A = this chain, B = another copy of it.
């Protein structure tokens, strides 16, 4: 499976994704699911992918090749006038890929893929979208400041509780690590290494970009520290008295 989160905070955007892909437990591979394009000083576009790997790879390739073919740059990721138009471009590409794969009338569910798209284009706000396999999309706002795709349930309660719009990038990274640790402990089809990226509002360049392996000292400290903190917090709650 997959677990990816895109989080909108006052200071910008934070992205995290796992790297495990599987077709059955006997067919596990490692693929990055975080893709980024930038035109420094002008725009940053980040895409996280979940779902059928052939579909997501085709979508990224199509988006990517278009950015590379100078003669066809009219509708590329680096030329869309707004994040809304960027989301529409990604959505249309998804629809196109799935339509090309699924014969007419065939159930396209198996080829489905879901995306988190975030970024900022000069002159507009940072924006964050969730793009469905049907190509339509919704945008994050103050009530729903984050999107998750893939195995979303295990890691959701802590985000709901600890997210604050005013948090720092460091706190947001900590929050996502806790969320990924809970998910990864509960579902073996979500696995390390993790990819982490910061985008600072109005910077128009990719911020920190880091791959976190299972031997990463900070991740291990969080993983162990969170387990201990949970057990400790649990012990300190009053016992049931009937």
Contact = CB atoms under 8 A, between A and B. Distances in A.
Interface of A: 153-154, 156-158, 160-162, 168-171, 173-175, 177-178, 182, 185-186, 208, 210, 218, 221-222, 225-227, 229-234, 236-242
A232 B240 CA distance: 22
Of A154, A157, A232, most buried by chain B (CB within 10 Å of CB) is A157
B239 A174 contact: yes
Contact of A154 (B154, B168, B234, B239): B154
Contacts of A208: 242
A240 B170 contact: yes
Contact of A186 (B156, B168, B229, B239): B156
Give the copy number. Answer: 2
Nearest to A240: B173
Given A153-B154, A178-B237, A222-B237, 5 more contacts: A153-B186, A158-B234, A160-B185, A177-B240, A222-B238
Contacts of A241: 170, 218
Nearest to A228: B233
Contact of A233 (B170, B175, B226, B239): B226
Given A153-B153, A157-B154, A157-B185, A229 B238 contact: no
Contacts of A175: 234
Given A157-B154, A157-B185, A170-B241, A236 B227 contact: no
Contacts of A182: 157
